[in-house]
Structure 1
Amino acid sequence: MSNQAPQLLLDILPAPAPTLDNFIAGGNGEALAALRGIGPGRAIYLWGPAGSGRSHLLAAAVRAHPGAVLCGAATPAREFVALAEGGVPLVAIDDVGRLDERQQAAVFGIYNRWRESAAAEQRGFALVVAGDSAPLRMPLREDLRTRLGWDLVFRLDLLSDADKLAALHAHAAARSLDVTPELLEWLLTRHARDMRQLTALLDALDRYSLATKRPITLPLLKTMLAAQPRPPAD
């Protein structure tokens, strides 16, 4: 049998783009609801450990607001300064704790501009910032630390394994995939723990099953993963 069709499916599709709809909230439902309803003049600070979904939510908020801008440590300070002039509906700033002094100074200006314009909806904008610690514990200049808590603050918790299994079951059911609990538990404990990667793997397995004309089973999943091209040796 030709390997061409399966090989096309072994190039596992990149994880789907982050949206508010595909964020698995778990115990973070209040933060998700606040982002769904955010509008001009509101600010949200999200904090939590790596893997809690901070970057997903920021990227999703930007996708939900055409014209919004997402910034981070790789964004030149001059671009932060330009954002302080306004003109965009939503500014999202990820990993604020990694910003250098010039970037922090510019974000300080963005917060001041946000507060000044908050009373004027026609000129106001929304602000969403994320970091790995509570506002007053962030390694930032003092005047910026205090501004992180000016409006809404949400701590993001990691999903439990039960939350992840429930989300994988729901994703499989939505695609009418006949998967066993054994397969999903193996996938969760032996492979990537990021939910977007896990759901992308399920989608790839569905395509691989169709291409090989074999039912979705744990042995088929292992075969698909084993057949992926290995990275070249150094």
Structure 2
Amino acid sequence: MTGQGIGPQIPLALRYPPDQRFDSFIRPPEGALALLDELIARPGAEWIYLAGASRTGKTHLALALCAAAEQHGRRAAYLPMAAAAGRVREALDALEGHDVVALDGLEAIAGEREDEVALFDFHNRARAAGLNVLYTARGIPSGIGLVLPDLRSRLQQCMRIMLDPLDDDGRREVLRDRAQRRGLVLDDAALDWLLTRTDRDLGALVALLDKLDRASLAAQRRITVPFLRSVL
């Protein structure tokens, strides 16, 4: 693996968002966080393939893994595969020297043979070098359109964690947790109003909470149903 740069637009290193942590992930699958902790702490631990539909928390856990790894004194790298599409080999070569790597969104390069070959080569070199790797994708290896059989085979050997979409109670927990971390108070009436009158997509709801946080600070008002009506 060579240490060539890949340009500033691919964020191999970033300040991991403070609300993207293991302790802020709502309703993880049983045993999932323990497996991720082991991936951080033990060189040679079982690699993990994290699968789930859009907005089920894959990126949250990938970023949390990297943040936790660095807290343990291990050098971590997060790579969104959509940003590396078309030049995956160059992007992966830049990961030399890291201990823990999270490759987020494999479906972004599915069907691009050169990118798939580059990922296959990286997988083999990373195994030999003793790296710990987390993959994420919107489906299982055989279901995301990969054209390289050897790559599918390698990915299928990883420990698999499946993420399911949250129901309304889960969305309510996420919003309440994110609000508390911002010092906001969202009562049940405000939560119910948001969940019944706005986009139910979790990512959109969290983005909306950021907007409400700014509006609440500017107006010096609590987030109540009348305030929500006036803002939204």
Q: Same fold per TM (> 0.5)?
A: yes
1:229 equivalent in structure 2: none
Q: Is the 8 A contact 2:22 2:33 kept in 1?
A: no
Match for 1:98 among 108, 117, 120? 108
- Shift in CA distance, 31/212, structure 1 to aligned 2, threshold 3 Å: same
- Scaled by the length of structure 1, the TM-score of the pair is 0.72
> Which residue of structure 2 lines up, in the alignment, with residue 146 of structure 1?
153
Q: 1:157 — aligned with what?
A: 164
Give 5+ residue unaligned stretches, structure 1.
1-15, 118-123, 226-234
Any idea what the Cα deviations from partners look like across 1:53-108, whole Å, max 9, x if unmatched?
A: 11222233233334424140331133245158x42112222221231211111111
User: In structure 2, do the counterparts of structure 1 residues 174 and 147 end up closer, same or farther at CA, with 3 Å as the change threshold?
Assistant: same
Alpha-carbon distance in 2 for matches of 1:147, 1:103 = 15
**Is 1:59 matched up with 2:63?**
yes
Distance 1:57 1:221, change over 3 A: same
2:219 match: 212
Distance between the aligned counterparts of 2:208 and 2:166, measured in 1? 18
Instruction: Give the aligned partner of residue 6 of structure 2.
Output: none
Q: Which amino acid aligns with 2:44?
A: G
1:157 shift after superposition: 0.7
Please tell me the root mean square deviation across aligned C-alpha atoms, in Å: 2.8
Say if 1:27 and 1:159, in contact at 8 Å, map to a contact too.
no
Q: CA deviation at 1:186?
A: 1.7
2:123 is aligned with 1:126:
no
Distance in 1 (alpha carbons) for counterparts of 2:221 and 2:104: 43
Provide closer, same or farther for how the CA distance between residues 36 and 187 of structure 1 changes in structure 2, counting only shifts above 3 A.
Answer: farther
> Which residue type is aligned with residue 77 of structure 1?
V
| Identical residues among aligned pairs (%) | 35
Instruction: Name which structure has the greater RCO, CA cutoff 8 Å, separation 6+.
Output: 1
In 2, the alpha carbon distance for the partners of 1:59 and 1:181 equals 30
Could you say if the C-alpha distance between residues 206 and 69 of structure 1 is closer, same or farther in structure 2, counting changes exceeding 3 Å?
closer
Relative to 1, partners in 2 of residues 1:166 and 1:82: Cα closer, same or farther, differing over 3 Å? closer
SS of alignment partner, residue 28 of structure 1: coil
Tell me the SS of whatever aligns to 1:74: helix
Tell me, yes or no, if structure 1 residue 41 matches structure 2 residue 53. no
Tell me how far 1:18 sits from its aligned partner.
5.4
Could you report, residue by residue, the CA deviation over 1:198-218 in whole angstroms, capped at 9, with x for unpaired residues? 345445535544543444311
Larger radius of gyration between Structure 1 and Structure 2: 1
Worse-matched range after superposition: 97-106 or 177-186: 177-186
Number of residues of Structure 1 aligned to a counterpart in Structure 2: 203
Q: Displacement of 1:52 after TM fit?
A: 1.0
Matches of 1:187 and 1:48 in 2, distance apart? 25
Residue segments in structure 2 that go unaligned for 5+ positions in a row: 1-16
What does residue range 75-94 of structure 1 map to in structure 2 within 5 Å? 75=84, 76-80=87-91, 82=93, 86-94=96-104
Q: How far 1:156 moved relative to its partner?
A: 0.8
- TM-superposed deviation, 1:41: 2.3
Instruction: Spell out, residue by residue over 1:172-200, the C-alpha distance to the aligned partner (whole angstroms, 9 max, x if none).
Output: 45556443312101212322445465345
The answer to whether the aligner puts 1:137 opposite 2:160 as a matched pair is no
Partner of residue 68, structure 1: 77
Q: 1:174 to 1:115 in 2, by over 3 A?
A: closer
How far is the alpha carbon of 1:139 from its aligned partner?
Answer: 1.8
Distance in 1, matches of 2:180 and 2:99, equals: 36
